[in-house]
Amino acid sequence: MVACNMRFHPGPAGVKRLLEQGCVGRVFAARLQCGSYLPRWRPWQDYRQSYSASPEWGGAILDCIHEIDLALWYFGPARVSGAAHMPAVELGLETDSLAEILLKHETGVLSNVHLNFIQRDYRRTCQVIGENGTLFWDYEDGRILIYGPDGKLQGSLVQPPGWEVNQMYVAELQHFLQAVQQTQPTSNSIADGWATLQVALTARRMGAES
């Protein structure tokens, strides 16, 4: 199993359930973003000495790969239609700090993934545009907003009271151990993880060539 903890966060997991239920009908497009400030990630460590700073295995695209994983989890396999990224010169690093990635899924969905670790505030959101409405999840707000065919707010899914971030890691471990005990497939196979990594590496390569 490839560990992608955001699948066990009640927000993204809720979006997945609503999509499986056909909440907004056929999906046309989606936008997923994750932005934060790398120097604040691990205050006990010089960020310039962390793996995030590595030109080979660091950078925003690989470090924030969770949003790419979510896009593939929601909408299926995809190819990179376009990508551009910027170097982290303002942080004194030789890797990418900001990226825009356009994915064309085999299901016909277009998704845009924005990743950066130079944004001073923390922002993590997902917007899904469907034929019968729109879903919008905001990490900080802790809710999934559901807009109906008339464009008006139809309802919302609220994060469980008292939920803490560590709970998604615990839930992920429990899922894995249960799969081992029951000899069942996990929710994120090696093949799935490999496909996500291939998208990320393609985006890095295309961004460097643009």
Residue 55 confidence (pLDDT):
87
pTM confidence score: 0.94
How does pLDDT run across 93-145, given as a tens digit for each residue? 889 999 999 999 999 999 999 999 999 999 999 999 999 999 999 999 999 99
Q: Transcribe 99-156 into DSSP letters.
A: EEEEEEETTS-EEEEEEESEEEEEEEEEEEEETTEEEEEETTTTEEEEE-TTSSEEEE
Pick the CATH number of 5-209 from 3.40.50.1370, 3.30.360.10, 3.40.50.300, 3.40.50.150: 3.30.360.10
Residue 210 confidence (pLDDT):
61
- What is the C-alpha to C-alpha distance for residues 122 and 141, in angstroms, rounded to an integer? 12
Helix (H) or strand (E) holding 19: helix 10-20
Residue 50 confidence (pLDDT):
87
How big is the CA angle at 6 (ends 17 and 81), to the nearest 5 degrees? 85
- Tokens 């019968």 found at: 132
How does pLDDT run across 38-92, given as a tens digit for each residue? 999 888 888 888 888 888 888 999 999 999 999 999 999 999 999 999 998 889 9
β-bridge mates for residue 115, sequence order: 34, 99
- What is the C-alpha to C-alpha distance for residues 16 and 11, in angstroms, rounded to an integer? 9
Domain limits of the chain? Answer: 5-209
